[in-house]
Structure 1
Amino acid sequence: MSTPELLQRPDGQSIAYHHSAGESAGVIFCSGFMSDMEGTKAIALEAAMQGIGRSYTRFDYLGHGQSTGNFTDGCISRWTDDALAVLDNCTAGPQVIVGSSMGGWIGLRMALLRPDRVAGFVGIAAAPDFTLRMRADMSDEAKADIERQGYWEEPTEYSDEPYTITRKLLDDGDRNLVMQGDIPFDGPVHLLQGMKDDSVPWETALQIQEKLTSTDVDVTLVKDGDHRLSEQDDINRLFIAVETVCAKVSR
């Protein structure tokens, strides 16, 4: 694990990131909920982009990975602000956002908030508005914990430690919803989605495609694909999708 650069935030926190200079359109990788920039897809995509001389940036949100701060202080608004700070301060020119799971939600928010900078989008099991489903699926016990102490510890197969779901995260999610109407983004998009994903229903990719105003949206459904989409065949699909979107942006 190489030492990252640090981007100082106004509240004294630091966002850890790695940036490789290269040609535009550049690529920014937005990781998922309680994931980080050292994941399989982020690292593999970095090697591929460096190999073809394309600009590439990966980073950790507040309370994730090598960035400072507490995870429980984060929410969609804050993590989107972190991503925008990286976009604004660490990259130049048009960028293609690659968003994995929660990173797909954040990537779509970036596209809406920086239409002059975000030129394309690739989603990997993109999970916009996932806090709505999270709240709806909560047990009575979980809801009671949220009311009593402001958080609930959710067991997960993706980590030995439970996910800490806070009232702040759920309430803030309602202020960042993107699937309630059209998503006004007209750049090229490719959505990769596993059909055996037990975290994000595969139909979500089709719903995102319908909401986007762009007429250039490809959806790849992987019949045996899970939520991670980290097998070598999945990584190969990711490389092709990202470079195809980048080529469209660069035309």
Structure 2
Amino acid sequence: MTDFLETPQGRRIAYHLTAGKGPVVVFLGGFKSDMGGTKAVHLEAWAKSRGRAFLRLDYSGHGQSSGEFEEGAIGDWAEDAEAAVSALTEGPVLLVGSSMGGWISLLLAQRIARVAGFVGIAAAPDFTEDSMAAGFSPQQHDEMERWGRVVLPSDYGAPYVITRRLIEDGRNHLVLREPLRDIGPVRLLQGTADEDVDRTVALRLLDHLTGDVRLTLVRGADHRFSDPDCLALIEAAIDEVLERMA
């Protein structure tokens, strides 16, 4: 059954919390995805089989949470995740961030001292600036200036409406321009056939983070990173980080 949490900002966030031993594993999904996705549901079942505490959630404007997607931005979604982790978990936390969830994870790791490990799956820090805004055509720049939004095609369903607020708010939450604290053991997973997040992003993040950080490149894996072999790699990465957090 889905539960709901009201954030300090007044947003109603849907979540599923599995009780169990710590450290708590928290799954943070990607841009316009929800907690019903393959990886989130698979990892919840994995956690239950291990007696492990696990949290998955929908950011505002996503899934069953309140709000409209087009009105949201990185800062809002980071606040949603921060509120959920702060209110619903205790003790050390391992964040598992997929795509945009990797960016959200890095923001949370700077705000919540209990975050003591991170697994990034095609992590996409700073993508609104380095991928979206940097890739706008002159016509799209004109559209953004005139209408405050640009519509981009998506391989995952309806086109993405990219708002001026999303881009400007993203600039206020960049994580690859300034040093980040050592957040404990980090494992990064990246597919070589990912058409949404280039492997150079993973390499840049590998160089930017400090401490125990390792990157695994998987030949032929795409952005979904959710076939049986990829899911097994995610499980193994979580196990390795949990062992090193102990």
TM superposition score normalised by structure 1: 0.95
The superposition leaves residues 176-219 of structure 1 with CA deviations (integer Å, 9 ceiling, x where unpaired) of 111113322240000000011111111211211111122x1111
Q: Which residue of 1 aligns with 2:207?
A: 210
Q: Which residue of 2 aligns with 1:80?
A: 78
Q: Which residue of 1 aligns with 2:142?
A: 144
Give the distance between the partners of 2:179 and 2:33, measured in 1 at CA.
Answer: 28
Do residues 173 (structure 1) and 165 (structure 2) align?
A: no
- Following superposition of structure 1 onto structure 2, how do residues 71-110 of structure 1 map, counting pairs within 5 Å? 71-110=69-108
Whether the 8 Å CA contact 1:104–1:124 is kept in 2: the answer is: yes
Do residues 63 (structure 1) and 61 (structure 2) align?
A: yes
1:11 Cα deviation from its structure 2 partner: 4.1
Give the distance between the partners of 2:208 and 2:145, measured in 1 at CA.
Answer: 33
Q: Which residue of 1 aligns with 2:232?
A: 236
The superposition leaves residues 29-60 of structure 1 with CA deviations (integer Å, 9 ceiling, x where unpaired) of 00000001000000001100110011000000
Give the distance between the partners of 1:186 and 1:169, measured in 2 at CA.
Answer: 26
| Deviating 4+ runs (over 6 angstroms) | none
Do residues 198 (structure 1) and 195 (structure 2) align?
A: yes
Give the distance between the partners of 1:178 and 1:31, measured in 2 at CA.
Answer: 18
How many pairs does the alignment contain?
245
Give the distance between the partners of 2:42 and 2:146, measured in 1 at CA.
Answer: 42
Do residues 187 (structure 1) and 184 (structure 2) align?
A: yes
Whether the 8 Å CA contact 1:123–1:192 is kept in 2: the answer is: yes
Whether the 8 Å CA contact 2:109–2:183 is kept in 1: the answer is: no
Identity %: 46
For 2:136, the aligned partner's letter is M
Do residues 164 (structure 1) and 164 (structure 2) align?
A: no
For 2:46, the aligned partner's letter is A
Describe the SS at the equivalent of 1:243.
helix
Describe the SS at the equivalent of 1:168.
helix
Moved more, 201-210 or 31-40: 201-210
Whether the 8 Å CA contact 1:112–1:185 is kept in 2: the answer is: no
TM superposition score normalised by structure 2: 0.97
In angstroms, what is the RMSD of aligned CA positions?
1.0
Describe the SS at the equivalent of 1:142.
helix
Whether the 8 Å CA contact 1:111–1:185 is kept in 2: the answer is: no
Q: Which runs of 5+ in 2 are unaligned?
A: none
1:81 Cα deviation from its structure 2 partner: 0.3
